[in-house]
DNA sequence: ATGGCCTGCAACGCAGGA
């Protein structure tokens, strides 16, 4: 099974990129973030024509998540159970015997912001939920835009980012706590080139200068981690005209 | 130098992203 995650930064704008990319990569499951579409506007027909079913949870202007799959998705859950949140950031479904949890973790804006406190509370709730999900679903993948650069090697300029949102110690501690549940960072299961990132700022010619962060992740339960053959970041779409600021992350899992 | 760039909304600038 080929799994992917991609923050598309507006599915309306990026649909042509997504369709081109699906035709090239032909993944089995794709999680999307920042669709920024209400559900009545989701491009069901265009994706069906490309061979993909879709489940989605969106809102106007902000956030919005979706799971595209060749096989049917079942047991669909939106949001973190028991955690009241108007923002559409979570979608879980079972596809071909694998539990897929698609996340758009809050950005946090800055460490002195109310949004940062919301992010930490959100991460606390996420951790509790994923513990029960993992117990119920041995084949579990948690993937999406985490808005956390887990280590300094995931940051183009660690000194400049030290203590800043996306890199702060409380956020990184939450990321490590997810690993502590028994999840593995798929990207780090394999040897990777230095300074490989999944997001680059639109400003300052950030992509060409590789001023990036690795904040999009794929976490695998033990059963999936031992079956994982590879994980990579696909930088190609970031170089296309009018790109998303995020690149897709792709992993291959043996049947 | 606290902005630069992009998106959506709805207005002729703003919020939010990261």
pLDDT of amino acid A177: 98
Between strands A2-7 and A29-33, the pairing is parallel
Q: How far is the CA of A243 from the C1' of B15 (A)?
A: 21
- Find which nucleotide's C1' atom is closest to A59's CA: B8
Per-residue pLDDT tens digits for A60-88? 999 999 999 999 999 999 999 999 999 99
Q: How confident is the model at residue A255 (pLDDT cuts 50, 70, 90)?
A: confident
Q: How far is the CA of A111 from the C1' of B12 (A)?
A: 33
Strand B nucleotides, any atom under 7 Å from protein beta carbons: they are 4-9, 16-18
Quote the crossing angle between the two packed helices A114-136 and A169-180, to the nearest 10°.
10
Q: State percent of chain A over pLDDT 70.
A: 100
* Cβ proximity of A42 and A91 under 8 Å: no
- Checking if the pLDDT of A240 tops 90, the result is yes
pLDDT of amino acid A218: 98
Q: What value does the mean pLDDT take over residues A79-108?
A: 97
**Which of helix, strand or coil describes residue A33?**
strand
């Amino acid at each position: 099974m080929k799994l992917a995650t991609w923050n598309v930064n507006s599915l309306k704008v990026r649909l042509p990129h997504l369709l081109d990319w699906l035709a090239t990569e032909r993944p089995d499951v794709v999680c999307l973030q920042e669709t920024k579409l209400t559900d009545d506007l989701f491009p069901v027909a265009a994706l069906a024509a490309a061979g993909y079913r879709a489940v989605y949870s969106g809102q106007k202007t902000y956030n919005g998540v979706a799971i595209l799959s060749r096989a049917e998705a079942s047991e669909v859950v939106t949001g973190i159970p028991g955690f009241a949140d108007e923002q559409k950031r979570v979608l879980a479904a079972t596809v071909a015997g694998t539990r897929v949890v698609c996340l758009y973790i809050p950005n946090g804006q800055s460490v002195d912001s109310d949004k940062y406190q919301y992010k930490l509370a959100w991460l606390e709730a996420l951790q509790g939920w994923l513990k029960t999900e993992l117990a119920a679903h041995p084949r579990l993948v948690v993937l999406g835009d985490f808005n956390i650069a887990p280590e300094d090697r995931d940051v183009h300029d660690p000194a400049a980012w030290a203590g800043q949102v996306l890199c702060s110690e409380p956020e990184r501690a939450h990321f490590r706590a997810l690993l502590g549940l028994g999840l593995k960072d798929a990207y780090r299961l394999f040897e990777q080139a230095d300074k490989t990132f999944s997001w680059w700022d639109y400003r300052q010619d950030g992509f060409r200068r590789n001023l990036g962060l690795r904040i999009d992740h794929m976490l695998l339960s033990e059963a999936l981690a031992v079956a994982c053959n590879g994980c990579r970041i696909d930088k190609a779409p970031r170089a296309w005209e009018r790109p998303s600021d995020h690149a897709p992350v792709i992993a291959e899992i043996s049947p």
